[in-house]
Chain A
Amino acid sequence: MSSLSVNHLLGIKYINKTDIELILDTAKNFKEVINRPIKKVPSLRDITVANLFFENSTRTKLSFELAQKRLSADIINFAASSSSVKKGETLIDTVNNILAMKVDMVVMRHSSPGAAVFLSKRVNAKIINAGDGAHEHPTQALLDAFSIQENLGTLKGKKVVIVGDILHSRVALSNIFCLQKMGAEVMVCGPLTLIPKHIESLGVKVELDLKKALEWCDVANMLRIQLERQDIKFFPSLREYTMLYGLNMEMLDKLSKRILIMHPGPINRGIEITSEVADSEQSIILDQVENGVAVRMAVMFLLAGRTSN
């Protein structure tokens, strides 16, 4: 069918394979649009979108904003650091106040897992989760899937390893759901302290040795070490982490095959990945950024275009 099965994009968990395929197919059309001389289309000209970022973000926010502008939507931006949240306003009050200004769609990032789901049950606007705590970051998973599909032709049967801080990563969880729904195999790799207990129950492989993981995979998605989320020490030192889980050119050269390197950004150069690898031709990190705009356009176009409510 030509329509999503959901009214909101709260997480990959809540959508099905057909939805993902529809989003990726539509994103292909938008990628063509953003490579035209005139990159703007008027589809969302009567839609107002509020970008509510209760947590800091650079690229996701920019990417969403650009996608909204390319679709001709009206935008209002909100950053928690300069708002009444500091004065003690609750989430629901903040959002209701913004919705009273007649907003049709809300893109929200929040530090609490489930914030987007909570909101979708209480307010009458389409909600897009742009990251809720360490829970989900669906648009990142979709753009990762799009980038892999674009480079390898398909996701079915491909082997993807997610390396690094799985415990604090919303990108990892959304990626696991998305890749599995599309028929890819997923492995997580990192120090045991940063791998959530019972993650095997999601059907993913766990590997502690990066070299073995690289030998197994077609794609390596290197996550950022999120020092700001770590309230205690999970590994002795950054230097040790880099020695065991940092990706360098030497390791890639030793492999019998060529694998794709991804990173959701921002990169800690020289920690989880060396500059040489990040800038190599195997790296599709900048493709991911470009595809992010196309995928987010597709998500907003499809949600806004839903006729039934």
Chain B
Amino acid sequence: MKPKIILEGEQLEITITRLCHQLIEVHDDFKQSAIIGLQPRGVFLAKRIHQKLCSILKTKKINYGELDITFYRDDFRRKELIPNKTNIDFIIEDKNIILIDDVLFTGRTIRAGLDAMLAFGRPKDVELLVLIDRRFRRHLPIQAKYVGKTIDSIESQNVKVELKETEGKDRVTLLND
């Protein structure tokens, strides 16, 4: 089977804009909220969403952080892991946290993300935003509140997310390996 394009160019831009408006619906002016991108790939999406929110709300004061989950993973010693930077310069105690990742698959990354986040305090509540939700493939009882697009896929397939910031173009592809 040929690789299948799931989202591309303007479509992806519209999806991200829609996600931003959904966030604003719930979080209003983001005074008590914060956005945290999961390293390595969730960070670029989180940055894009953060920028967009700032421009829609005409503010620069939306808390934004990056969280590395390497030390919290459950597949340590099953595969080789490279840690990334964690950068959270605000207090997450009692905040409404929006965790952002590109693809939701087994849910193990998010599980590790929840654990890693608790090292920075006790948030009031935590929501999950993903660009692509590979439904029916979950190993853990984890669901996203905001979803860019839900897709059906089989285990052996891969979802590749390319963003302007890193690859020079916006495109999500379903690969058959």
Contact = CB atoms under 8 A, between A and B. Distances in A.
20 contacts: A26-B83, A29-B68, A29-B70, A32-B86, A33-B71, A38-B118, A41-B71, A41-B72, A41-B116, A42-B72, A43-B72, A71-B71, A304-B76, A305-B77, A305-B81, A306-B80, A307-B77, A307-B78, A307-B79, A307-B80
Nearest to B86: A32
Contacts of A307: 77-80
Contacts of B9: none
Specify the main secondary structure of chain A where it touches its partner: loop
Interface in B39-98: 68, 70-72, 76-86
A41 to B, nearest CB: 4
A2 interface: yes
A296 to B, nearest CB: 15
A42, A71, A306 — which one has the most chain B CB atoms within 10 A of its CB? A42
A225 B118 CA distance: 46
Interface string A289-309: 000000000000100111100
A40 B79 CA distance: 22
Q: Contact size class for A?
A: 10 to 19
B37 to A, nearest CB: 16
Given A29-B86, A32-B85, A33-B71, A305 B80 contact: yes
Given A43-B71, A305-B76, A305-B77, A36 B83 contact: no
A41 B119 contact: yes
Given A36-B120, A38-B118, A41-B119, A3 B71 contact: no
A42 B80 CA distance: 16
Contacts of B81: 2, 305
A133 to B, nearest CB: 32
A37 interface: yes
Nearest to A3: B80
Chain B interface size range: 20 to 34
Contacts of A37: 119-121
A42 B116 CA distance: 9
Nearest to B88: A36
Contacts of A29: 68, 70-71, 83-86
A26 B86 CA distance: 12
Nearest to B92: A37
B115 interface: yes
Interface string A37-54: 110111100000000000
A32 B121 CA distance: 16
Interface string A142-169: 0000000000000000000000000000
Contacts of B77: 304-305, 307
Name the 8 nearest CB pairs between A and B, nearest first.
Answer: A41-B71, A38-B119, A29-B83, A2-B82, A43-B71, A2-B80, A3-B80, A36-B119
A41 B86 CA distance: 13
Contacts of A2: 80-82
Interface in B122-158: none
A133 B76 CA distance: 34
Contacts of A3: 80
A26 B84 CA distance: 9
Nearest to B115: A42
Contacts of A305: 76-77, 80-81
B129 to A, nearest CB: 24
Nearest to B74: A42
Contacts of A32: 85-86
Nearest to A104: B77
Contacts of B84: 29
B16 to A, nearest CB: 29
A41 B119 CA distance: 8
A72 to B, nearest CB: 9
A3 B76 CA distance: 13
Nearest to B81: A305
Interface string A169-209: 00000000000000000000000000000000000000000
